[in-house]
Structure 1
Amino acid sequence: MGATMSGFLYYLVAFALALGILVVVHEFGHYLAACWAGVKVLRFSVGFGRPLWAKRLGPDGTEWAIGAFPLGGYVKMLDEREGEVPAEDAHRSFNRQPVLRRMAIVAAGPLANFLLAVLLYWALFWHGTDEFKPVLGTPTAASPAAAAGFENGEMVLKVAGEAVQTWQEMRWVLLQRAADEDEVALEVLNPRHEIAIRRLDVSSVRQSGWQGDALDRLGLGLFRPRLRPVLGRVNANSAAALAGLRAGDEIVAIDDQAIDHWAEVVATIRKSPGKALVLDVVRASERLSIEVTPLAVDEQGREIGRIGAAVSDSGQARAEMMIRVSYGPVSALGKAVAETWDKSAFTLLMIGKMITGEVSWRNISGPVTIADYAGQSARLGINYYLKFLALVSISLGVLNLLPIPILDGGHLLYYLVEIIKRGPVSEKTMEIGQQIGLALLLMLMAFAFYNDINRLFSG
């Protein structure tokens, strides 16, 4: 119970920290643009509801506050439509500003999120990250990868003519191509040092609604070195520990099926969530039979089994599978901008495909799933957490620019209409738009929470 509670708190803190950073950055974009435009800012709040903490600072006495409900935030500016404004401050009201200034203030929030993503990626690319090489394992039987002729140990050099260095790069380029193409050509170097072209049918990615891990459904998996199936670590209070497994145990069979290497252990456990398995192990020259039931956990929308144990002495083998990727400061900045642009465009593309029905609405994630990803990335290390922050910041920026009333994009749409018709949108039109926008936003939140609950209970 203690371990479960501490794990929950860890994920909660990781989520709260991410949310706090993203909200502050977004609202600070609005705040800085308002200050630049000469608009008086009355309040800067992280969270909604009654303030838990508030303090007035600066020459304008801006109230800086933390609200009781932390899911969001806002910047309240002086506005004659929301109350009486002293005559001497009228010129500093938001509604008195030229339309282009109002557009700049509204657009500055999402822009700040994109800039945060660029800065995070820049730091990561400049500092350097250790990534898995794009080396493939044995393709799943009867999968598109098997049909394409992929072999165990092949390294992917190019995807659709684009060179890739890492597993994540390969995955990203392949998913981008799969969004619009039925077949993608991959150039590989096989274990015999021969270059070959594999033509992979990726149509199933769109047909299955982009659920779970697309590469897994295509039959593509990361290469696993042949390691002896000896346990190096058994987590406290895990299924393995509760069953009586210990570090140093060598697994020689599972359910009377002989085991030769660690990858076979992982594969068997992953496909057996909640199913009792009998492990034959050798401990100090003595053969024992131990029954263990893998815990059922959700992995990107699919239920898999885990027992909470790791293989022994995998450090050297892991190092051989890794590549250090780093760039100079200028090259890193260019790559960071490109990465942010690509992911923004892909996010927008996926939203469009959800609207047209090509992509399932079940891909929308709510706070529970985002908190889970926040905790998982934080446990993997600072680099993974920063990548998570950058990706969510991009998603927040894109979402806020959608032309939906109540979002920043909705306000920008009003101002665009104002420029075209040379007059403001009527209060009645904006009121109806706000109601429609609120209904759409509530529907989106309902989908997200439903998906979260569905993932929790059905895996």
Structure 2
Amino acid sequence: MEVLSTTYNIILIIIGFGLLVFVHELGHFIAAKWAGIRTEAFAVGMGPVLLSWRKGLGVRFGSTNHEVVRRMGKQAAQCTDHELADAGIGETEYSLRILPLGGFVKMVGQDDLDPSATSSSKRSYNVTPVGKRMVVVSAGVIMNIILAIILFLVAFMVGVKFEAPVIGYVMPDSPASQAQAEGPNAAGVDQRGLLPGDEVVSIDGSKVNTFADMMIASAMSRPGTPLHVTVDREGVPGPLEFTILPEQDERTNLLSIGVGPSSSTTLTAEEDLRPFVELELKDNGLSEAGITPGSTIQSVDGEKVTTFGQVDALARSSDGRNLASTWSVPGKTGPVSTELPVEPTWQRLFHERTTPEQPRRFEEGLLGMTPLVKVTGVPEGSLNAGVLQAGDVILKFEHHSGPTRQRFRQLLQENPGTQVDLVVLRDGKDQAVTASIGSNGQLGIGITYAWNLPVIARPMNVLGGTLEDPDAITNSAIEPLDLFPLTRIDSVGDMKVTDWRSMRDGFTTATSKAAAEGLGATIELTYVSPTPDGDRFTVPVVLDAAQVSAIDSLGWRPGIQGELFDPLQTTLQAGGNPLKAVSMGFKETSKLVLLTYLTIDRLIRGSVGVEQIHGPLGIVHVGSRIADRGYMYLVFFIAMISVNLAVINFLPLPIVDGGLFLFLVYEKIKGRPPSVAFQNAATIAGLCFLGLVFVVTFYNDVMRMIN
């Protein structure tokens, strides 16, 4: 069924592309007819003709030219207007061609690839007044803009759902986490940074309607120029203002402020994420209660919830107890009641940076100890399907024992396109496997921490500062112990350790009195060495008052990750008002025109990489996924592509309409067209440039799909 759905979506996108090309070429065709230029062909698609129609001949499989030659004794292009009229045959062949991308209008005296292909006919393109030719050249772009406005109008009349401009999480040490609230309402706001639940109202004075607007504003910002962000925050009487300087995101290579969207209370049912959702439900005991992907949390601890942020807030105040919850489950008539697991939060342990430019990376754990890496899922089609399994714990990467999660990712990035030897813990036994790393430095798996296993990864003896003081370098509390990676923690104080939660409980219990008095503490830690003899040691862990306070301040969070829920959405619509829909359509079109030009500018400046650009294959791939979000979002997507097509087509480059228009401007000023030699050289340069763009975007598209 998934294959059929994907095929259907691809067909929809191809039809959408066909519509864009048809409308674009229709603009040229109508303008050419208006200008009195003889048009020999109007084609949708490229390559051999599948179907054609010509006045007086009707529909034919293949081209109508064979029939014209049979009747007239020569090609239609060789016949005069009078000869065709006397025979009752139309001058234009309308055709549908085998390749669904592209199209063209063939006019007498005009050939994009051969500037010398002029004609002496009085209905030739090259003898038509320059002003009329300008209309003909620009008509395709104008029609694409008109189509975009109409499609946006339709989408806004019905309504289109987007991710709401509400912050769901803030990356540690990101620009958004460091910003200080400003403005008249900032009094009493002591916590730095944007916070989950903040609703972004505007950026640099421009209204923000969707989360995508916010991400685009960051990505398209001028490098080195801060953004002025205005947000609404619950409990604050008025808007808060922040000045935030976007930084390059190492994952996307785009400028970003380091925030993610807020989640709803509906578990995602997307096919790509379904295995991870099912594994998370199983790990939390929710699948046994009948909870499935697509289920929605209705209430938690007796309180109605509509956002994951509300669920998170209830978990934080739970004191670690599991919470009663009710769910609506697809296919079930009544609500399903079950306990929602609550799990601990952990310290963020930052790695030491070797250079100021190096991104700051952190682990989750306790006092310099962090868990091993665990595989959460291996999607179908992954490079390592059948090699790695959900639940595998990484014990060794080549000669690196117990890599931390960040070190594991770093090792992958350092070895793209290779095979590596791993040792994993599977079903309680060590197992050697050979894994394949993709060219993007990824295994094609999901990973998390092995919280269920009281074994530590390589200890973090030196910590790289805090959010408040990023440059502070300190020794961790476990640095004097000289622990090895793969050390098993047996007990903390008087508490037996069976997993990381019981380890945290042991530290919390042992330091509770010292935390209340603001003092330091010394706790006994018993561990088993990873040496062949498995020696057991009991050692003191000395904590100062700050370290005790850090343990005491740890809280709780929902056992199921917010990232596995569908984004919180908002609907952009005109409320049934067609005039408002027209206005929204004009605004969206003009915004996208400016955004397309801005993207080109950022490509030149280098803040947007060429790897971000999609070609036809990538657009079809993205579009096929977008089609799953509903027909109106697909209509919106086609409208966006229509605007992009218009702008790209009117760039001052040879081959495209903008380059032809530029030649006409030259001809209008000089009274003669550019020389044929110059036009030929420009055409060759344009073809080479477009060929290069096609190769680069095709490579990007293929690599994205593979990875």
Residue aligning to 1:283: none
Going from structure 1 to structure 2, the CA distance change for 1:262 and 1:18 (only over 3 Å counts) comes to farther
Q: After superposition, what is the alpha-carbon deviation per residue over 1:407-433, rounded to whole angstroms, capped at 9, x for unaligned? A: 111111111111121112222211111
Contact 2:276 2:377 in 1 (8 A): no
Would you say 1:64 and 2:94 are equivalent positions?
yes
Matches within 5 A, 1:265-280: 274=378, 276-278=389-391
Would you say 1:224 and 2:260 are equivalent positions?
no
In structure 2, how many angstroms separate the alpha carbons of the residues matched to 1:369 and 1:234? 19
Aligned amino acid, residue 260 of structure 2:
G
Alignment match of 1:416 (pick from 665, 679, 682): 665
Contact 2:618 2:698 in 1 (8 A): no
Going from structure 1 to structure 2, the CA distance change for 1:248 and 1:38 (only over 3 Å counts) comes to farther
Q: After superposition, what is the alpha-carbon deviation per residue over 1:144-177, rounded to whole angstroms, capped at 9, x for unaligned? A: 222221112122222223333443444445555x
Contact 1:185 1:197 in 2 (8 A): no
Would you say 1:121 and 2:157 are equivalent positions?
no
Contact 1:232 1:248 in 2 (8 A): no
Aligned amino acid, residue 203 of structure 1:
P
Using structure 2 for the length normalisation, give the TM-score: 0.51
Would you say 1:441 and 2:690 are equivalent positions?
yes
Larger radius of gyration: 2
Aligned amino acid, residue 439 of structure 1:
C
Q: Identify unmatched segments of 5+ residues in structure 2.
A: 57-88, 111-115, 180-192, 293-319, 324-339, 344-363, 365-372, 379-387, 393-426, 428-436, 448-558
- Secondary structure of 1:195's partner? coil
Contact 1:53 1:65 in 2 (8 A): yes
Going from structure 1 to structure 2, the CA distance change for 1:247 and 1:386 (only over 3 Å counts) comes to farther
Worse-matched range after superposition: 375-384 or 60-69? 60-69
Using structure 1 for the length normalisation, give the TM-score: 0.77
Report how far residue 84 of structure 1 moved: 6.8
Alignment coverage as a number of residue pairs: 413
Residue aligning to 1:284: none
In structure 2, how many angstroms separate the alpha carbons of the residues matched to 1:347 and 1:235? 31
Report how far residue 76 of structure 1 moved: 0.6
In structure 2, how many angstroms separate the alpha carbons of the residues matched to 1:259 and 1:117? 51
Report how far residue 448 of structure 1 moved: 0.6
Report how far residue 18 of structure 1 moved: 1.9
Q: Identify unmatched segments of 5+ residues in structure 1.
A: 252-256, 280-288, 290-295
Q: After superposition, what is the alpha-carbon deviation per residue over 1:16-67, rounded to whole angstroms, capped at 9, x for unaligned? A: 1121111111101101111111112111111222201111038734211112
Q: After superposition, what is the alpha-carbon deviation per residue over 1:286-342, rounded to whole angstroms, capped at 9, x for unaligned? A: xxx9xxxxxx99xxx997859xxxx99x9xx98985456325322332332222122
Residue aligning to 2:574: 326
Matches within 5 A, 1:323-362: 323=571, 325-326=573-574, 328-362=577-611
Contact 2:573 2:581 in 1 (8 A): no
- Secondary structure of 2:655's partner? coil
Report how far residue 375 of structure 1 moved: 0.7
Residue aligning to 2:646: 397
Residue aligning to 2:297: none
Would you say 1:99 and 2:130 are equivalent positions?
yes
Aligned amino acid, residue 583 of structure 2:
G
Aligned amino acid, residue 275 of structure 2:
A
In structure 1, how many angstroms separate the alpha carbons of the residues matched to 2:219 and 2:159? 24
Aligned amino acid, residue 263 of structure 2:
R
Would you say 1:455 and 2:704 are equivalent positions?
yes
Contact 2:156 2:572 in 1 (8 A): no
Residue aligning to 2:233: 190
Contact 2:275 2:377 in 1 (8 A): no
- Secondary structure of 2:20's partner? helix
Residue aligning to 1:10: 8
Would you say 1:139 and 2:170 are equivalent positions?
yes
In structure 1, how many angstroms separate the alpha carbons of the residues matched to 2:247 and 2:195? 20
- Secondary structure of 1:13's partner? helix
- Secondary structure of 1:446's partner? helix
In structure 2, how many angstroms separate the alpha carbons of the residues matched to 1:276 and 1:221? 28
Residue aligning to 1:46: 44
Residue aligning to 2:346: none
Would you say 1:21 and 2:19 are equivalent positions?
yes
Would you say 1:152 and 2:196 are equivalent positions?
yes
**Cα-Cα RMSD:** 4.2
Aligned amino acid, residue 223 of structure 1:
S
Matches within 5 A, 1:297-336: 305=446, 322-323=570-571, 325-326=573-574, 328-336=577-585
Q: After superposition, what is the alpha-carbon deviation per residue over 1:228-281, rounded to whole angstroms, capped at 9, x for unaligned? A: x9x796969963699896584469xxxxx99986999xxx999956474449xx
Contact 1:49 1:67 in 2 (8 A): yes
Going from structure 1 to structure 2, the CA distance change for 1:234 and 1:15 (only over 3 Å counts) comes to closer
Contact 1:159 1:187 in 2 (8 A): yes
Residue aligning to 2:507: none
Greater helix proportion: 1
Q: After superposition, what is the alpha-carbon deviation per residue over 1:339-378, rounded to whole angstroms, capped at 9, x for unaligned? A: 2122112211211332343421112212221112111111
Aligned amino acid, residue 232 of structure 2:
L
Aligned amino acid, residue 49 of structure 2:
P
In structure 1, how many angstroms separate the alpha carbons of the residues matched to 2:258 and 2:269? 29
